[in-house]
Chain A
Amino acid sequence: MTAEQIIFLITSAIILAGALMVVSARKLLHAALWLVVVLFGVAIFYAILQASFLAVVQVVVYIGAIAILFIFAVMLTRRELRDQGPQTHKNWWLPALIASMLLVSLVSIIQSLPKSGLTPPALAEDFDGVRSLGMALVTPDSFLFPFEAASILLLAALVGAVYIASSGEKKGRQK
């Protein structure tokens, strides 16, 4: 086993345990913090795969923004931060069925993969992932259109949020 494989196995174990804790933790805030552990594990995966940009963005966006907003929302909205009720509902068997089917199909796909020759090809010495990603985002042949479409969507969301907030403020003043 190489060092990469050892790190991969340890990280996977942590991610799986963390994901289990996300859905089973009694305290909502603990669940949110376990989610942070899971997201951090995924960032480690990206780092192992030499995708340094994705690894860092994973931490910035998912932990720095989304997980912190989750925690914030949980702290603001819930008076009692402990979930007292039963942790399953009466339709629990349906998602369990879907999940086990997904597991079976994934295992069968992994079984059909070749067992050897799975080491990734070495990257070129001067390979710059960030630069190639940036070039891909502004090249019309590759991702220029989806990139611009996503930007317009985000801009529309931004303008919409500002509009809703400001019109609410005006109404408040009129009263």
Chain B
Amino acid sequence: MTFADFLNNPIQFIGDWLTQVLTNWGLSDSLATILVYLVGITVLIVFAMVLDIGLVWVERKVVARFQDRLGPNRIGPFGIFQPFADIIKLVIKEDITPAGADKIIFNIAPVLAATSVIALWAILPLASSIFGTDLNVALLYVVAAGALGTLAIIMGGWSSNNKYALIGAFRMVANMVSYEVPMVIILLIPTILADSMSLQGIIEAQRGIWFALLSPLGFLIFFVCAIAELGRTPFDLVEAESELTAGFNVEYSGMKFGWFYASELLHAFTFGGFIAILFFGGYGGFFGLEKVSGFAWLTNPFIEAAVFIAKAMFGYWAIMWVKYTLPRIRIDHMLAFNWKFLVPLSLVVLVTTAILHKVLIVLPTWQYVLGMFASNLVIASGTIEILRAEGRKRDRFSVQPAKKQEQIS
């Protein structure tokens, strides 16, 4: 056990060292293992929550940039200690439970919201040797955790005994149940390309080439579905300040609201991470550079974790970019966009990818990548043509009554 061992596999090193310390104290092996696992889980959650505090600052600074403001800049350099002031404010705020509220459900909801996000961190691989667990059904697990998040929002919205909160909860169900469909279909694309549902397997399969290059449309659809799943603008009908005051969390105050807010930010970052893992190679994906002599340091866990966080931050930034640029869309538009556009398109992309992957995999790599990319371009241009034709048809219908009116007058 040397410092080099620590650098090559820090989690294993610390875990082995802790187990040894505990067994030296006279604990049995199994008890020591359970304790070490508990410590590991706690450290992972604490890491996620501390990162979350940073995300509050990032979010506020980035939204300020988009809206041509300065953002927090008083407390600490660049206002970096602003989130701590926010947390102190939330903690000392009066904690109000509305009179007609269903107290138990009202109090469980924020906890469940945070749980559904932290549960995602159990499978998030920060580096090839830093991860909670490597499930062989990881992609389905992502969907399952999302279901718990929906449940939290329904519970919060219903138990508040407030009509705005309840409408927010209703909208959430419509949103989640529909956008889960194209998301699950698109999650099959990395599965087909990597021949695996485990996140490690998907990342290893992208050592050479990113899936975003093989299936750019898949990436775009997943990106849209992720934003819908997060309930962020333009799909923020759950909160819709101008219509529902604050949506499902309107009755929450103090740290209970803080949990909803924190879990929303962490959720967005985590989905940035999933976009990075599924389509941009996660902690790896240097196009084979790490095999070149002199670049072996790229597989160091610390470098990998830094690369992953950077990619996840970029995904998070892209989600914010959409959020602070686009206006909210109407609920019927949102549902029509999902069922009439995203679902058929994702089915076409999935079937094309599945067939072409089997046909083209025998070709040399550059022809395979080119073929996959070209097929996506063909689908995209075909979609645009269909939409244009549809748009012309609608124009004709909408123009005609206006002409008649002119004739009458």
Contact = CB atoms under 8 A, between A and B. Distances in A.
Chains A and B come from one and the same complex: yes
Interface of A: 3, 27, 29-30, 33, 36, 52-53, 56-57, 59-60, 63-65, 67-69, 71-72, 75-76, 128-130
Nearest to B159: A29
Interface of B: 30, 34, 102, 105, 135-137, 140-141, 143-144, 146-148, 150-151, 154-155, 158, 166, 169-170, 173, 176-177, 180, 197
B137 A64 contact: no
Contact of B154 (A3, A30, A71, A76): A71
20 contacts: A29-B102, A30-B102, A33-B155, A53-B136, A56-B140, A57-B140, A60-B143, A60-B144, A63-B147, A63-B148, A64-B150, A64-B180, A67-B151, A68-B173, A68-B177, A71-B154, A71-B158, A75-B158, A75-B166, A130-B137
A32 to B, nearest CB: 10
A68 B151 contact: yes
A52 B136 contact: yes
Contacts of B144: 56, 59-60, 63-64
Contacts of A65: 147, 177
B53 to A, nearest CB: 29
B151 A52 contact: no
A64 B152 CA distance: 11
A143 B151 CA distance: 34
Contacts of B102: 27, 29-30
> Considering the complex of A and B, which 7 residue pairs feature the smallest CB-CB distances, nearest first?
A64-B147, A59-B144, A56-B140, A56-B137, A60-B144, A60-B143, A53-B137
A3 B274 CA distance: 32
Contacts of A60: 140, 143-144, 147
Contacts of B155: 33
A72 B140 CA distance: 23
A72 B177 CA distance: 11
A59 B158 CA distance: 21
Contact of A52 (B30, B137, B150, B158): B137
B158 A29 contact: yes
Nearest to B174: A72
Contact residues of A: prevailing secondary structure: helix
A33 B158 CA distance: 12
Nearest to B104: A30
A76 B147 CA distance: 20
A43 B11 CA distance: 29
Given A3-B30, A63-B151, 16 more contacts: A29-B102, A52-B135, A56-B135, A56-B140, A60-B144, A60-B147, A63-B144, A64-B144, A64-B146, A65-B147, A68-B150, A68-B151, A68-B154, A68-B177, A69-B177, A72-B170
B136 A128 contact: yes
A67 B177 CA distance: 12
A161 to B, nearest CB: 12
Given A64-B180, A128-B136, A33 B146 contact: no
B298 to A, nearest CB: 29
Nearest to A55: B137
A72 B151 CA distance: 11
Nearest to A162: B339
A89 B362 CA distance: 68
Contacts of B135: 52, 56
A129 B136 contact: yes
Most chain A beta carbons < 10 A, residue from B34, B147, B176: B147
Contacts of A129: 136
Nearest to A54: B137
A59 B147 CA distance: 8
Contacts of B177: 65, 68-69
A56 B170 contact: no
Given A29-B158, A64-B180, A130 B148 contact: no
A69 B178 CA distance: 12
A76 B154 CA distance: 13
Most chain B beta carbons < 10 A, residue from A3, A30, A75, A76: A75
B49 to A, nearest CB: 24
Given A56-B137, A56-B141, A57-B140, A72 B173 contact: yes
A52 B133 CA distance: 12
A80 to B, nearest CB: 13
Nearest to A131: B136
Contacts of A69: 177
A128 B196 CA distance: 11
A60 B145 CA distance: 8
Contact of A64 (B143, B166, B170, B197): B143
Contacts of B169: 75
B147 A68 contact: yes
Nearest to A62: B147
Contacts of A33: 105, 155
